Structure 1
Amino acid sequence: MAEPTRAKYLLMPEWQGSASSRAMLITDGAAHLREDLPPTARFDVPVPQQAGDSLGTPVARLSSVVAARDAAREILHGTEEPAITLGGDCASTLAGLDRAVERDPSVAVLWFDAHPDLQHPSTSPSGAASGMALRHALGQGIGDLNGAHPVEPARVLLIGAREVDPEEAQAIDELGLRAIPASTESPAEAIAGWLAEVGATSVYVHIDLDVLDPAEFAAVHSPVPFGLSVSDLAGAVRAAIAQAPLAGAAICEFAPASAEIAADDSPTVLRLLAALVSGGTR
Structure 2
Amino acid sequence: MTGPVFLVMPQWQGSPSSRAMQLIDGAAAIKEDLPESARREVPVPLEAGDALGTPAARLSSLLRARASALEILRELEGPAITLGGDCASTLPGLERVVERHGAERVAVLWFDAHPDLQHPSTSPSGAVSGMALRHALGDGIDDLAFPDPVGATHVTLVGSRAIDDEEDLELERRELHRIGHIFDATVDVEPDPAPLAAAVRDRLEDLVRDHGVSHVYVHVDLDVLDPSEFAAVHAPVPFGLSVAQLTAAIRAATETVPLAGAAVCEFAPADRAAADEDLPTVLRVLAALTARSRNDGA
* TM-score normalized by the length of structure 2: 0.91
1:89-168 matches, within 5 Å, as 89-105=86-102, 106-168=105-167
Looking at structure 2, the residues matched to 148 and 208 of structure 1 have their Cα atoms a distance apart, in angstroms, of 24
Displacement of 1:79: 2.4
- Tell me, in whole angstroms, the C-alpha distance in 2 between the residues paired with 1:151 and 1:163: 22
Secondary structure of the structure 1 residue equivalent to 2:217: strand
Alignment of 1:260-275 (within 5 A): 260-275=273-288
Work out whether 1:195 is the aligned partner of 2:184: no
Displacement of 1:182 after TM fit?
4.6
Q: How do 1:1-282 and structure 2 match up within 5 A?
A: 6-105=3-102, 106-184=105-183, 186-199=195-208, 200-280=213-293
What percentage of residue pairs aligned between the two structures are identical? 60
Cα distance between partner residues in 2 of 1:147 and 1:67: 16
Distance 1:42 1:148, change over 3 A: farther
Per-residue displacement from partner, 1:50-102 (whole Å, max 9, x unpaired)?
A: 00000000000000111111100000114220000000000000000011111
8 A contact 1:13–1:87 mirrored in 2: yes
- Structure 1 residue 148: deviation in Å? 3.2
Give the equivalent residue in structure 1 for 2:187: none
Query: In structure 2, what residue type is equivalent to 1:225?
Result: P
Q: Which runs of 5+ in 1 are unaligned?
A: none
Letter in 2 for 1:191: V
> What TM-score results when the alignment is normalised by the length of structure 1?
0.96
* 1:150 CA drift (Å): 1.4
- Paired AA for residue 160 in structure 1: G
Provide structure 2 residue ranges, at least 5 long, that are not aligned to the other structure. Answer: 184-191
Does the aligned pair in 2 maintain the 1:162–1:182 contact within 8 Å?
Answer: no
- SS of the aligned residue for 2:276 comes to helix
CA distance in 2, matches of 1:182, 1:233: 13
After TM superposition, give the deviation of residue 183 of structure 1 in Å. Answer: 3.9
CA distance in 2, matches of 1:47, 1:173: 35
Deviates more, 1:208-217 or 1:27-36: 27-36
Distance 1:183 1:114 in 2: 14
Q: Which amino acid is 1:214 matched to?
A: P
Shift of 1:41: 1.5
Runs of 4+ off more than 6 Å: none
Task: Give the partner amino acid of 1:148.
Answer: P
Q: Give CA deviations for 1:238-270 in whole Å, capped at 9, x if unaligned.
A: 111011000000000000011111001000000
Aligned-pair RMSD on alpha carbons? 1.2
- Tell me the matched-pair count: 278
Change in 2 beyond 3 A, CA 1:78/1:34: closer
Distance across 2 between alignment mates of 1:266 and 1:202: 28
Post-superposition CA distance 1:27-59 (Å, at most 9, x none): 010011111111011111000000000000000
SS in 2 for 1:274: helix
Judged with a 3 Å threshold, the aligned counterparts in structure 2 of structure 1 residues 18 and 182 are, in CA distance, closer, same or farther, namely farther
Is the 1:182–1:226 contact (alpha carbons within 8 Å) kept by the matching residues of 2? no
How far apart are the structure 2 equivalents of 1:241 and 1:182?
22
Structure 2: distance between partners of 1:26 and 1:246: 25
SS at match of 2:23: helix
CA contact 1:182–1:228 (8 Å) conserved in 2:
no
Q: Distance in 2 between matches of 1:216 and 1:45?
A: 29
| Matched letter for residue 125 of structure 1 | P
Q: Which shows bigger deviation, 34-43 or 249-258?
A: 34-43
How far off is 1:111 after superposition? 0.1
